[in-house]
Structures are given as structure tokens and as C-alpha cells.
């Protein structure tokens, strides 16, 4: 469906056939996640005359989130000795995609040397997580995707009025409205801030910033077009 973020699941397909389907079914069946995400599985594509590597790298570029499942096998290697899983991780890195990596098992001695190297490369760039079962995996996937939605401002873990207003910036705040408020507050209540106080400082003092972005309350009080 349009408007949803797409997740590309990357792994050695034969090793993780069950986990790949389980993650897809979990996301599509969860009341929250299915509102925001669609899942791409390479094996769900119809047969095509295009080269597989062209297809999967193109899908990595089109998806918003890379979800890697790393285990023991490294997978098929091309002429350069690189597997599709590693190509997909590198493509997601180069494209600046959100990358979530989940490592199966704790017996690192059982892993293919190149998979161990790939896990090390991922560990140096992001916080990868281990799992031992499908319930553990889906719980980790849920937590990671909710955290991603919060970081994007799509869902909030703060009260509505205190949370950042989506897509709003300080340019959406009326300097005149803010200055008029500060002047009135200073005149009537001896408020500490002067009308010419820089906007970021004034909004922070009024607890109307969420990070560096104006909150819903800031837009309602001082927005140039609060009705939007």
C-alpha cells in the first residue's frame, strides 16, 4: 500500500526460510506495525529474466529499512567472493538506509569465516542483536521498529502536546506572536525573558521544543498557520 515504509529482509534464504516468513507474518499481523510497514521477500517475486543481483540490489535501494538475519552460512559467492547477503548490507549502507541486524545463536565458532567477518563489520557500524528462537526474534524486531518509528517522529512516546509536530521547523513559528507573548508576560508577571530573546532559547525556556523541533503546543500557540 502506498504511504507505508518497506522492509527488505536480507539473509541466506535456505538457512532462514522459516524466520523470513515468520518476520513477515508477524509484521503483517501486528496491529501497529502493519499500519506503517510492508515487507519485501525476494522469494515472493515472480520469475523474471533479469539477473537476481540486479533485482535484489534494486529492491534494497527502494526499501526504507534493511533487516538482516545473520547465522552460520555465508551463502553463494560471486566471482569476487562476495555473497548476496553482504552485497545487500553494503548497498543499504551506501544508500543510508535504516539497518537492523539480528544474529542467530551464540556459537561463533560454527560460523563460516566470511559470515563472522560480515557480523564484525556490521557490529562496528551499528548495534546488532542476538536471538535464539523465533519468539525472541519477533520481540526484537518489534522493539527495533517501534524505536525507529519514534525516532522518525511517526509515533510518539511523549504526550501529544509535548511531542514534535511532524515536519514543523522553527520557520513555522511566528516571531511576532512569540515576541508579543513575551512582552505581555514580562509586563504582567515580570517574566524573565525579554521580547527579543532568540527563538530557540525562548521556546526551550517555555518547554515547547522536542529536541530541536517545535512541539505541537508550540505550533498551536505561536505557529504562523496553526490550523495546518
Q: Are residues 37 and 58 in the same domain?
A: yes
Does residue 143 sit in the same domain as residue 174?
A: no
Rounded Cα distance between 142 and 150, Å, is: 12
Sheet-wide strand order for 37-40: 37-40, 5-10, 65-70, 98-104, 129-131
Q: What is the pTM of this model?
A: 0.69
User: Do residues 131 and 193 share a domain?
Assistant: no
The HSE-up count of residue 189 (CA atoms within 13 Å, CB side) is: 7
Q: How many domains does the chain have?
A: 2
From 136, 152, 168, the end of a domain falls on 152
The Cα–Cα gap between 228 and 222 comes to 13
User: Domain containing 58: what range?
Assistant: 5-152
Pair 146, 90 in one domain: yes
Do 81 and 107 lie in one domain? The reply is yes
205 and 93 in a common domain: no
d(CA 63, CA 102): 18
Q: What is the pLDDT along the chain (228 residues), one digit of tens a residue?
A: 458 999 999 999 999 999 999 999 999 999 889 999 999 998 776 655 455 666 778 889 999 999 999 999 999 999 999 999 999 999 999 999 999 999 999 899 999 999 999 999 999 999 899 999 999 999 999 999 988 988 886 776 667 777 888 889 999 999 999 999 999 888 887 878 889 999 999 999 888 998 889 988 899 889 998 765
CATH of the domain at 62: 3.40.50.450
Q: Is 107 left (phi over 0), alpha (psi -120 to 50) or beta?
A: beta
- Together in a domain, 47 and 148: yes
Amino acid at each position: 500500500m502506498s504511504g507505508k515504509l518497506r522492509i527488505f529482509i536480507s539473509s541466506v534464504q535456505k538457512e532462514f526460510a522459516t524466520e523470513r516468513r515468520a518476520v513477515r507474518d508477524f509484521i503483517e499481523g501486528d496491529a501497529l506495525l502493519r499500519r506503517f510497514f510492508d515487507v519485501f521477500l525476494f522469494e515472493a517475486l515472480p520469475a523474471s529474466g533479469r539477473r537476481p543481483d540486479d533485482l535484489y540490489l534494486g529492491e534494497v535501494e527502494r526499501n526504507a529499512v534493511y533487516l538482516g538475519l545473520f547465522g552460520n552460512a555465508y551463502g553463494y559467492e560471486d566471482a569476487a567472493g562476495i555473497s548476496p547477503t553482504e552485497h545487500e548490507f553494503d548497498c543499504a549502507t551506501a544508500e543510508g538506509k535504516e539497518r537492523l541486524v539480528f544474529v542467530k545463536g551464540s556459537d561463533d565458532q560454527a560460523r563460516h569465516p566470511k559470515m563472522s567477518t560480515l557480523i564484525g563489520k556490521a557490529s562496528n557500524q551499528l548495534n546488532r542483536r542476538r536471538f535464539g528462537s523465533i519468539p525472541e526474534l519477533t520481540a526484537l524486531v518489534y522493539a527495533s521498529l517501534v524505536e525507529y518509528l519514534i525516532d522518525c517522529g511517526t509515533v510518539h512516546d511523549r504526550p501529544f502536546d509535548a511531542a514534535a509536530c511532524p515536519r514543523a521547523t522553527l520557520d513555522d513559528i511566528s516571531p511576532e506572536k512569540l515576541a508579543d507573548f513575551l512582552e505581555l508576560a514580562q509586563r504582567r508577571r515580570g517574566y524573565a525573558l525579554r521580547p527579543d530573546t532568540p527563538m530557540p532559547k525562548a521556546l526551550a525556556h517555555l518547554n515547547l521544543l522536542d529536541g530541536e523541533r517545535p512541539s505541537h503546543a508550540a505550533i498551536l500557540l505561536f505557529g504562523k498557520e496553526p490550523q495546518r
